[in-house]
Amino acid sequence: MLKDQPLTVGTLIRKFLRPISLTWLLTLCETSLTALIPLFMGFAIDGLLKGDTDPLIRLAAVLAGLIAIGVTRRVYDTRAYGTIRVALGTELIGRSGGMPVSRQNARLGMGRELVDFLETEVPAVMNSVVQLVISLVILFTFHPFLSYAAMASATLMIAIYFAFHGRFFRLNGEHNQQTEQQVRILEQRAPSAILSHLDRLRRIEIRLSDTEAYVYGAIFLVLLAFIVFNLWFAATNLATSVGTIFSIISYSWEFVESALVLPVTLQGWSRLTEIMQRINAPQKAA
């Protein structure tokens, strides 16, 4: 199925469109219900304070539907993406048969990351986008300034990530290059070579971790300012009920959680871009 095709995320989507589409449809349903929970909780709080239990019953129905869809999606995902991993791994090994076992082993692991991205990262982005949109709409209905603050913080967050994109790409390339040599180095059974290899990996991982720390530290500062502003604005400028205040804070926090998925996914895509370039490059025999 993958013969003579570039081994990329796009190819996997085209060749396995039906099972992937079904998993993503279930993901969208699950995400939509999840995003509505804080709103229904706010309604339930206001209803119970007035002695009305109908909003609580509606909340319970939404939660029951969420559980059913979530279980179904997870059962199906494992089988669908397992089949894709087998097909991709078989094709990847077939194309790199003349390479050292060390590089074959490393590239087999890298190839699996493409499927992991489809199974984990893409649904996370879908969840994030749906929740971001719903959060913005609901915050706007409470007051436009609440949603404007959210959009401003998201723009700053993306700008911060892109300032470091090139460094992430370069460091991931160095890490993959070193990983491809691991089995060959272990076969030498030379303590000094193994120590040098592990130390090289350690130094690359430290630089990656430090870069992540700086990026996410800056992003958290932006999002913290957004949460503080919305809490202050809702409490001091709006005439609202307890349930409404709860919904505003819940959706503000939901926006923060969803927004954090975007730079994480972009970082993962930086690594995948380097991997796809590497595994689709002309293969050289040992």
Confidence class of residue 239 from pLDDT cuts 50, 70 and 90? low
Contact of 225 with 144, CB cutoff 8 Å = no
pLDDT given at position 97: 67
Confidence at 28, pLDDT banded by 50, 70, 90 = confident
Question: What are the structural domains of the chain?
Answer: 9-279 (1.20.1560.10)
The pTM of the full predicted model, rounded to 2 decimals, is 0.65
Radius of gyration for the chain, computed over Cα atoms and rounded to the nearest angstrom: 23
Q: What is the DSSP string of 127-159?
A: HHHHHHHHHHHHHHHH-HHHHHHHHHHHHHHHH
Q: In whole angstroms, what separates CA 191 from the centre of its chain?
A: 38
Q: Are the C-beta atoms of residues 275 and 110 closer than 8 Å to each other?
A: yes
pLDDT one-digit tens code per residue, 180-202? 777 778 777 788 888 888 888 88
pLDDT band for position 286 (cuts 50, 70, 90): very low
Q: Helix, strand, or coil here: 181?
A: coil
Instruction: Find, among 90, 129, 128, 127, the residue nearest to 111 by Cα.
Output: 90
pLDDT tens track for 34-68: 878 877 887 888 888 888 888 889 889 888 988 99
Average pLDDT, the chain: 83
Q: What is the pLDDT of residue 129?
A: 83
Residue 56's identity, in one-letter code, is L
As given in the structure block, the two tokens for residue 214 are 């700086």
159-173 tens-digit pLDDT: 888 888 888 888 888
Cα gap 47→40, rounded to integer Å: 10
Tens-digit pLDDT profile for residues 241-277? 777 777 788 888 878 878 778 777 877 787 788 888 8
Q: How far apart are CA 6 and CA 92, in angstroms?
A: 10
For residue 147, pLDDT over 50 is answered with yes
pLDDT at 18: 92
Closest to 76 (Cα-Cα) out of 121, 23, 115, 34: 23
Angstrom distance (rounded) from CA 39 to CA 55: 10
